[in-house]
Amino acid sequence: MKVVLDSPLDMHLHLRDGDMLKNVVKYSAECFAGAIIMPNLTPPLTTIKEIKAYKKRILDFAGGLEFEPYMTLFFKDSYDYDFLKEAKSFVKAVKLYPSGITTNSEGGVKNFDMDKLRGVFEAMSELGLVLSVHGETDGFVLDREKEFVDIYENIATSFKDLKIVMEHITDRRSAVLLEKYDNIYATVTLHHLLYTVNDLLGGSLKPHLFCKPIVKTPEDKDVLRELALEAHPKVMFGSDSAPHPKEKKECNGVAAGIFSAPVVLPALCELFEKYGKLDNLQKFVSDNAKKIYDIQPPKKEVVLEKDEFLVPNICGNVVPLCAGEKLLWRCSVGSG
């Protein structure tokens, strides 16, 4: 049994830089035609020069594989119209992080005063640049995304022409906004479709399931599964694959991030098959994203075969999601 995907896309991907980039980029470039690349490096990507240089490093380490990195800028309220107009030729989105809320986000937004942010949001609206948002407060960990809903609503109503992508949604309250506002969209990860907080810490603590936003309740997972399995037209797949060295995950002060790139398509295929929704997988991992972002990725045929896949225990110095487990599907790349 086979499933053939036309130019699958990962609409939320962390590749890091340096040796880590060299180690992990192949796992995405082999089985995806392209990906939205997050800008929270150290220092974050805030200039066109930095964006162009980082894209070149990604392509160099991708080793000639057919893969398009769609770049993003780290949000700053100081960006003006002329800068964003020039940047539009090199980026697809501007990524907004609340300050200090996740890895390398200390330079993010501290005050969501719409008057202070108005200039950037109006320029982005006029230019057609997507606002990509890590939507969490610094409140109680299970409520952080829920508490951000009011901010999403404020932005959506104040800037109705601004296309907003709620990244890696985890909370059923966020999902409601998809129907409420024409200009709000979302990405959903694999791990938030598979796991809950009980998997993370209900028995022994599983550091390789720790991420931000944290995995939530069974009720939240069920809502996300409905969105993904039905391929809701305003929802895209985004892995939020975020590698950290093994020693940063198996220690005190565990780093937040799940490295899922080696397993996302086989695991998604297994999930969609389980619920009789394989016909919707193409929309979830490609077609919806192409419409939302108005992109035409490289032509790339990716074949998923019903064949046992033993997930490696380690990839370089990074432990992948499902390490050591057997999945029912494996990924191979066809001719484009």
**Any idea which residues carry the catalytic annotation?**
240
The CA distance from 12 to 38, in Å, is 7
Between helix 144-158 and helix 114-127 the angle, nearest 10°, is 60
Sort 1 into a burial class: Cβ within 10 Å, 0-12 / 13-18 / 19+: exposed
End-to-end CA distance of the chain: 20
The CA distance from 220 to 183, in Å, is 22
The CA distance from 9 to 68, in Å, is 9
The CA distance from 206 to 217, in Å, is 16
* DSSP secondary structure letter of residue 287: I
Torsion region of 316: left, alpha or beta (phi above 0 gives left; psi -120 to 50 gives alpha): left
The CA distance from 191 to 200, in Å, is 11
Hey, what amino acid is at 124? M
Three-class secondary structure of residue 267 per DSSP:
helix
DSSP secondary structure string for all residues of 22-34: HHHHHHHHTT-SE
DSSP secondary structure string for all residues of 207-251: GGG--SSPP--HHHHHHHHHHHHTT-TTEEE---B----HHHHSS
